[in-house]
């Protein structure tokens, strides 16, 4: 944007309109001078003052400037009014009619009997000239309007391109995350698993207590690393959205999940102290998916969430009663239980989902307790 245009846009609209009113009065004074009648000066005052309203009532302002054009040969008021009207409306027949009306008012003289007493050929020439003069601000106003439309469309196109670039960046990020997940799973996870296996073998075969303790430490660290690595792989395989980077839930959030489920649910039992965060997330997601399925497919049913553990295993069992209301068909990707089974496999456990003899449904996660 040029400096002159930037400075012009900083001028207040009221200052521009006031200046146009002053120019209109000056234009009328030059034409009338000492020949002005009270009626003519009244038309000057009406038409000039009306320019203050040209932005809000362009058609009315144009009509109010016509008496000035009829009484005297002025240029500022009709040109300003026609330009403002052309820049604010898309009704081209209206603009053509206003240009013809302005040309007729500029050609005729007051009193009207004098206009027809002159040479008709000269009157026609003057009409054509006045019409051409009136068409100039109309065309310029339409040009300004078209320029505004193009500028607005360019902004919309740029916004669309920016949105497209953002989508492309998200797609590339998701592809890179998926590729990184595959590499981590195929290479890093395999190598860490071998380290854990070799450390376990060394722990059993070593005779030196210090060597066995070192092997046990290596195996424990390898298993912990493998758990976190598997969890990171599940995150990297996600869509890449911001929600995957949010803090993941644990058992501490389980009570709030049940309270917000909208289902009459009881929570019993407990899990062993010190289970990994990966196992806590798996239990949480299992309960979350089970309650979601109850809400979707068994309206009115009651649920029981039972946490349990023994010497070798731990898990959670979610059981619901028969529904008391007919279920409503809701859209589903049918991936919930599949995802839970994958989470269970990461813990070397199993997931069971089956109907109960009483007509309800039971979802159970069963995973082995870690032993060094």
Concatenating the DSSP letter of every residue in 102-162 gives: HHHHHH--SSHHHHHHS-HHHHHHHHHHHHHHHHHHHHHHHHHHHHHHHHHHHHHHHHHHH
Residue 164 pLDDT > 50, yes or no?
Answer: yes
Q: What is the mean pLDDT of residues 70-80?
A: 83
Considering only residues 75 and 282, tell me which one the structure prediction assigns the higher pLDDT.
282
Predicted local confidence at residue 118, as pLDDT: 57
Residue 335 pLDDT > 70, yes or no?
Answer: no
Least confident stretch, 17-26, 127-136, 191-200, 208-217: 191-200
Cβ–Cβ under 8 Å, residues 102 and 78: yes
Q: How confident is the model at residue 183 (pLDDT cuts 50, 70, 90)?
A: low
Residue 119 pLDDT > 90, yes or no?
Answer: no
Per-range mean pLDDT, top range of 63-72, 189-198, 274-283:
274-283
3 state DSSP class of 354:
strand
Let me know if 61 is exposed, middle or buried by CB neighbors in 10 A (0-12, 13-18, 19+).
buried
Q: What whole-number distance in Å separates Cα of residue 61 and Cα of residue 78?
A: 9
Shortest CA distance to 295 belongs to which of 241, 267, 332, 247? 332
The CA radius of gyration of the chain, in Å to the nearest whole number, is 42
Residue 289 pLDDT > 90, yes or no?
Answer: no
Indicate if the alpha-carbon torsion angle 43, 44, 48, 54 is positive or negative: positive
Mean pLDDT of the chain: 80
Predicted local confidence at residue 330, as pLDDT: 47
Predicted local confidence at residue 155, as pLDDT: 86
Residue 98 pLDDT > 70, yes or no?
Answer: yes
Residue 244 pLDDT > 60, yes or no?
Answer: no
Q: What is the mean pLDDT of residues 212-225?
A: 78
Predicted local confidence at residue 63, as pLDDT: 87
Residue 308 pLDDT > 90, yes or no?
Answer: yes
Q: What whole-number distance in Å separates Cα of residue 302 and Cα of residue 300?
A: 7
Find how far residue 235's CA is from the centre of its chain: 25
Residue 163 pLDDT > 70, yes or no?
Answer: yes
Q: What whole-number distance in Å separates Cα of residue 33 and Cα of residue 30?
A: 5
Residue 13 pLDDT > 50, yes or no?
Answer: yes
Considering only residues 73 and 154, tell me which one the structure prediction assigns the higher pLDDT.
154
Per-range mean pLDDT, top range of 65-69, 246-250, 330-334:
65-69
Q: How confident is the model at residue 363 (pLDDT cuts 50, 70, 90)?
A: very high
Residue 178 pLDDT > 80, yes or no?
Answer: no
Predicted local confidence at residue 187, as pLDDT: 63
Cβ–Cβ under 8 Å, residues 331 and 276: no
Contacts of 239 (CB under 8 A, 6+ apart): 174
Predicted local confidence at residue 304, as pLDDT: 93
Residue 311 pLDDT > 60, yes or no?
Answer: yes
Q: How confident is the model at residue 288 (pLDDT cuts 50, 70, 90)?
A: confident
Give 37-70 pLDDT, tens digit per residue: 778 788 888 888 888 888 888 888 888 888 888 7
Q: What is the mean pLDDT of residues 156-175?
A: 82
Residue 9 pLDDT > 80, yes or no?
Answer: no
Shortest CA distance to 350 belongs to which of 337, 360, 361? 337
Q: In this structure, what token pair is assigned to residue 5?
A: 């245009």
Predicted local confidence at residue 267, as pLDDT: 92
Predicted local confidence at residue 362, as pLDDT: 93
């Amino acid at each position: 944007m040029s400096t002159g245009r930037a400075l012009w846009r900083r001028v207040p609209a009221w200052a521009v309109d006031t200046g146009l009113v002053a120019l209109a009065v000056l234009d009328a004074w030059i034409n009338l001078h000492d020949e002005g009648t009270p009626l003519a000066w009244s038309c000057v005052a009406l038409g000039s003052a009306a320019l203050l309203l040209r932005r809000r009532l362009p058609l009315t302002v144009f009509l109010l400037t016509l008496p000035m054009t009829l009484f005297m040969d002025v240029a500022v008021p009709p040109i300003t009014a026609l330009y403002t009207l052309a820049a604010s409306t898309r009704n081209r027949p209206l603009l053509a009619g206003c240009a013809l009306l302005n040309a007729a008012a500029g050609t005729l003289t007051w009193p009207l009997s004098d206009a027809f007493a002159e040479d008709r050929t000269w009157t026609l020439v003057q009409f054509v000239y006045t019409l051409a003069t009136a068409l100039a601000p109309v065309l310029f106003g339409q040009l300004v309007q078209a320029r505004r439309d193009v500028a607005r469309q360019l902004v919309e196109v740029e916004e669309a391109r920016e949105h497209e670039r953002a989508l492309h960046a998200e797609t590339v990020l998701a592809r890179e995350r998926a590729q990184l997940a595959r590499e981590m799973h195929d290479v890093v996870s395999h190598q860490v698993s071998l380290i854990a296996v070799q450390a376990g073998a060394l722990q059993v075969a070593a005779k030196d207590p210090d060597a066995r303790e070192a092997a046990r430490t290596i195996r424990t660290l390898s298993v912990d690393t493998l758990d976190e690595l598997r969890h990171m792989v599940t995150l990297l395989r996600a869509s890449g959205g911001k929600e995957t980077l949010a803090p993941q839930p644990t058992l501490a959030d389980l009570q709030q999940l049940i309270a917000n489920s909208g289902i009459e649910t009881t929570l019993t039992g407990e899990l062993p102290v010190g289970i990994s965060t990966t196992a806590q997330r798996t239990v949480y997601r299992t309960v979350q998916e089970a309650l979601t399925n109850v809400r979707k497919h068994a309206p009115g049913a009651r649920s029981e969430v039972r946490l349990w553990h023994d010497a070798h295993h731990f898990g959670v069992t979610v059981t619901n009663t028969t529904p008391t209301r007919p279920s409503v068909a809701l859209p589903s990707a049918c991936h919930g239980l599949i995802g839970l089974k994958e989470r269970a496999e990461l813990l070397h456990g199993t997931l069971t989902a089956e109907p109960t003899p009483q007509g309800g449904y039971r979802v159970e996660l069963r995973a082995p307790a870690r032993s060094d």
